[in-house]
Amino acid sequence: MLSGRHILLGVTGGVAAYKAAYLARRLVEQGAEVRVIMTEAAERFVGRQTFAAITGNPVEQHLFDGSTVSPHTDLARWADLVVVAPATANLLGRLANGLATDLLTNTLLATTAPVVLAPAMHTEMWEHPATQRNVGVLRADGHELVGPDSGELAGGDVGPGRLAEPEAIVAVVEKLLEHG
Ligand SMILES: Cc1cc2nc3c(=O)[nH]c(=O)nc-3n(C[C@H](O)[C@H](O)[C@H](O)COP(=O)(O)O)c2cc1C
């Protein structure tokens, strides 16, 4: 159970963004308070109202001109855990290199909470040396990676790159929070 725990869900711009809505729902069902940051690209795949309705909180998207003066530090401190699902190759690359170019990456750099990354992308992108190098850096930095699974991808291709099942992501979130 995640009663009373503050989970910040980052959603980036991949086809699997629609599955993040189900993940948000599962986290809420477990008793967590969930807030969502979407990247601009994520909004091309799924609407922010979906997450607002599921979590009961407005979706955060902007570093500037948001509802608070310093949304990235506020959200970073609010979170007991940050989970990014799906995490694009772009997000992995930016985080691995310490780039803070939007609200999500600024928050990821500003938080001291555990970070769970659930990558999802086409097999070629996942297996690219740059992505694998970034994944190695992120693991060495202490981030927890879940998946990707191997299976059918958007467009009918089959291989590694599929978003881990939401239940598997929730299980990792629970395990990390149980262990403090
Ligand atoms: C139809 C379509 C599907 C995409 N799916 C993925 C994906 O599954 N994984 C990924 O890493 N990038 C995917 N991309 C590319 C990202 O949307 C692109 O790299 C974007 O800049 C990511 O921005 P973000 O990381 O800020 O969300 C896709 C692009 C398009 C047009």
User: DSSP letters along 94-158, please?
Assistant: HHHTT---SHHHHHHHH--S-EEEEE---HHHHHSHHHHHHHHHHHHTT-EE--PEEEE-GGG-E
How far is ligand 1, taken at its centre, from the CA of residue 19, in Å? 14
How far is ligand 1, taken at its centre, from the CA of residue 92, in Å? 12
3-state secondary structure of 48: helix
User: 6-178 adopts what CATH topology?
Assistant: Rossmann fold (3.40.50)
Ligand 1, atom nearest to 91 Cα = 25
Which of 48, 88, 127 has most ligand 1 atoms within 8 Å of CB, for mutation? 88
Q: Whose CA is nearest to atom 5 of ligand 1?
A: 14
Report the chain (180 residues): mean pLDDT per 10 consecutive residues: 95 97 98 98 97 97 87 97 98 98 98 98 97 98 96 85 97 91
**Phi and psi at residue 68, to the nearest 5°:** -125, 165
Report the pLDDT value the prediction gives residue 179, as an integer from 0 to 100: 77
**Overall pTM > 0.75:** yes
Q: Whose CA is nearest to atom 1 of ligand 1?
A: 15
